[in-house]
Structure 1
């Protein structure tokens, strides 16, 4: 009976990606647990398969083969102690940087530790036998498939990386006995590009740049991105942690957060991902037909689920490569179309309730020039991401670990860098009380000003669109943690702050806020640090957010009106024609 590929889906992914990455040499050892992979390779003339009964010998054979050919070599064995015999050869490969891909088969790992025959624990390896060790899932749904594709790509790429070396893939099997699959699946290959490699061609289409949290860019770094955008019809999607203040900046949250309508005006052909973690969940809805990640770490970070290339190099090298020898265009159709859509929302912001969002709308335009502002995660960052601030102001949020535990301490640390510069912080009450001991630190300076949004709970969990919303007020008990820390006491923070030498003021409604907020914006450093406590209600917070993300009920007429004002009738027609291509 004619045999084809195994029907085991994760085996098919392994084989398909080995072929796409050009890996063809295999040293196979006998066994049942690794049979779905070995038998499938045996049925494909692409692979050059060699046999070795002794796994120790197989690993050393692979070392010799890889050393001579300078190509990666797969070694594949069954369960039980077979994999242990790879260790001497893998140690040799590690210190000689030989690209050996060890695939050790195992029954489902949940059986580890339960006295199941031939099942051993491979979760911990010696430090010097593998650069990377991953366990491949059994594919039961689309998420497993994505996980499988990513892990196999990572393993293969790591065997080449930084001079090469051995890697380990722990392959879980269900012992599928059917071999009727005639064609391999169309799997997603991810390639790593280094500075001296040949660069892929950038499509002549719409190009987006997405920036996660990033250090504030220098003038030169900004110019490099601006030049790239001018030459390649590109736009830059930012939030307040992105560090880019250039000509193609789009603070796009108010547009990308809309419930009705697409998250982006026109989906880019390529979205270039730079920076690290992003705390702007709405902007993560922006995507592209494929993602190119640019970072010196060279790691596979598949934030958007469409990663195609990882460029292991400085951002400047990447952007300059795609800018050189190109003439910049005077008009950027993609940026202009997104800018028009963005402006249509700013012109129709509703009269929202007293809330973090409303406070952000009032203060964002008037923060003192050349100051710095730190945002608490989630509600505070999201609220301020709806509104632009001056390009002279550096803004940041602790989205790396994404916790509430050190917001004020981080602000304090930053403020120590320059006593002549104002540092603002915006935090919710849970984050404030979590870190309130830092207010008593003797290094706390007069250049710090804290905006405390006190709604008496984790208001994030009471928002209309949160997973806890269906619990209603019952969420306050344990999910939103309401009622702690004085339950919106009007004197608790006041007395604490004033006793520590703070200038304190408060507001519980729009009128009270209007009467005191100008003091908080005093451009000169005053004799005392400031603490501005704003008392809001979680229902108003939720209502304000709901209103902001439902502006896009019918934007067609307003967008056309703004487009004509910005571009003129003739240019608008040309823009429409270009975007249809």
Structure 2
């Protein structure tokens, strides 16, 4: 016999979620949210138990990233709710649909020093697309009100593709069960799909400007978008810059931004500046391209995205609310697609830099740089690759990871806190194998991302352990500080061997180029449990190798 919660608010919640095909629920332990856990686990939802709420929210976010549909995450009251916040801000800036279901004490319990009770209603309001609170069953018109509120919350989560919070006050008793639920009405869905038409004045602007640059930020892979963009570069109509996590690759795209602009000086900002800049998608990793475009000050800047229109380069002239595919379909249909010399200007610079890159790679010594080069060449094509912040995703920009792989990274807020949990959540929901490539600090920070029983056996983790946050030896500034070792780079002597054993993952460690090359083929072979490969580069001057690389490009 089923044990369903007797709480009508929970029955309504479950009913509405099913109506919108939201059936993945990440649960953390607790008593106040027990009615949710009991009901969801007995009512044919896909439930996952993740103890650490901070990790649980990132796991749910990773699942939603793979499924491209909302995933719900539920916890008990108090600080458990607050632990969701890092994932909430990441989901907010990445537009990942996360439905936050937080159990709460009755509203009258707030601020009277009752256990696990905080000001929980609207706790995420600065970084959520909606904040709602259900009525308790005994309140007036609770059923009608809660049906309406849950429907609004779910539709907002779907339309905005971002986090939405439903706070759920629950009085005791919490453990009363029923075997059947009284009939609830079908939900009349009111989701809308917008249609975009390119205004004639934008067509005129496109047709009258010869120096057009298209910059792709963070986005999911889209074969349709690839086909459209190829039409713009096959006859040199525009210069298209991409990053690894733009998930768009073509030989005529400029796929390695920093390789081409790292040494720009004042005259280059003028020489290579676009007149029309079209940015697509979200956060851009390259700091160099941000510096270049802020100084170049294009006459026109259009940003194309269904949700966000930031003035990243202090030049925004047109916020275009459209899917990327719809916009470029309209542009190609209505605009003139003609060759421009601006493409050739950039192409000459690219050819020289690419040749220098290949020369340097032929003789590079064992280092983080060499490891990323090897991984770009030898990671099997089926793998979805997650990069941690912050040096990992920067190294990825230098190589062709996105040519054969889908690439992901938490660049919404660019923190290291949930990189492992996000990748594991993605792996749990994904039908293709997942590889996490991570630095040591990111990995050790988020070890609870491995604390679950759902990680598929074909999941792989590669840790580049250079014994510190090496990014702080790469970026300008920190290397001059006396506090670098202990408080900024945070040097350490840890390794992942005991953690792998603890979480029952196969573990390998390599310390030389030959060991790395021999290990990779075996590492990707099928196994009965996930694997960790730790690459020890602690004794190498990784920052120097990278600086020598850019110096060689300039020579």
Normalising by the smaller structure, the TM-score range is: 0.5 to 0.7
Q: Which residue of 1 aligns with 2:319?
A: 310
| Count of aligned pairs between the two proteins | 351
2:241 aligned partner: 237
Residue aligned with 1:365, SS = helix
Q: Which has the larger radius of gyration?
A: 1
- In structure 2, which of residues 474, 477, 481 is the aligned counterpart of residue 471 of structure 1? 481
Give distance in 1, aligned partners of 2:328 and 2:379: 32
CA RMSD of aligned residues (A): 3.0
Correspondence for 1:344 among 334, 337, 355: 355
Determine whether 1:322 maps to 2:308.
no
> For residues 550-565 of structure 1, what are the structure 2 equivalents within 5 Å?
550-554=551-555
Q: TM-score, normalised by structure 2?
A: 0.58
Cα displacement (A) at 1:428: 1.1
Aligned residue for 1:213, secondary structure, equals coil
Indicate yes or no: 2:517 matched with 1:514: yes
Question: Does 2:270 align with 1:267?
Answer: no
CA distance in 2, matches of 1:478, 1:337: 43
Measure the CA separation in 2 of the matches of 1:337 and 1:265.
Answer: 13
* 2:537 is the counterpart of 1:536: yes
Per-residue deviation, 1:427: 1.0
Unaligned 5+ segments in structure 1 are: 1-126, 128-192, 555-581
Once residues 284 and 402 of structure 2 are traced to their aligned partners in structure 1, the CA distance between those partners, rounded to angstroms, is: 21
Q: Give the 3 Å change call, closer, same or farther, for CA 198–536 of structure 1 in structure 2.
A: same
Contact 2:247 2:402 in 1 (8 A): no
Shift of 1:417: 2.4
The Cα shift of 1:501 comes to 2.4
Cα distance in 2, alignment partners of residues 455 and 258 from structure 1: 24
Q: Is the 8 A contact 2:470 2:489 kept in 1?
A: yes
**Structure 2 equivalent of residue 527 of structure 1:** 528
Distance across 2 between alignment mates of 1:458 and 1:234:
38
- For residues 199 and 274 of structure 2, what CA distance do their matches in structure 1 show? 27
1:144-199 Cα offsets, whole Å, 9 max, x none, are: xxxxxxxxxxxxxxxxxxxxxxxxxxxxxxxxxxxxxxxxxxxxxxxxx9745632
SS of 2:491's equivalent in the other structure is coil
Contact 2:278 2:304 in 1 (8 A): no
Q: Is the 8 A contact 1:277 1:399 kept in 2?
A: yes
Looking at both structures, which has the greater relative contact order when contacts are Cα pairs under 8 Å and sequence separation is at least 6? 2
In the superposition, relative to structure 1, how do residues 392 and 220 fare at CA in structure 2: closer, same or farther (>3 Å)? Answer: same
Deviations 1:405-460 (A, max 9, x none): 111111111112234x2211111111111111221310111121101111222121
Match among 496, 500, 503 for residue 503 of structure 2: 500
Structure 2: how far apart are the matches of 1:422 and 1:237? Answer: 28
Equivalent residues in 2 for 1:288-437, closer than 5 Å:
288=296, 289-297=298-306, 300-324=309-333, 326=336, 329=339, 333=344, 336-349=347-360, 351-389=363-401, 391-419=403-431, 421-437=432-448
Distance 1:381 1:276, change over 3 A: same
Greater percentage in helix: 2
Are residues 1:226 and 2:230 paired?
Answer: yes
Query: Aligned pair in 2 of structure 1 residues 251, 501: CA closer, same or farther (>3 Å)?
Result: same
- 1:214 corresponds to which residue? 219
1:506/1:532 contact within 8 Å kept: yes
Q: Is the 8 A contact 1:264 1:338 kept in 2?
A: no
Q: Could you say if the C-alpha distance between residues 356 and 283 of structure 1 is closer, same or farther in structure 2, counting changes exceeding 3 Å?
A: farther
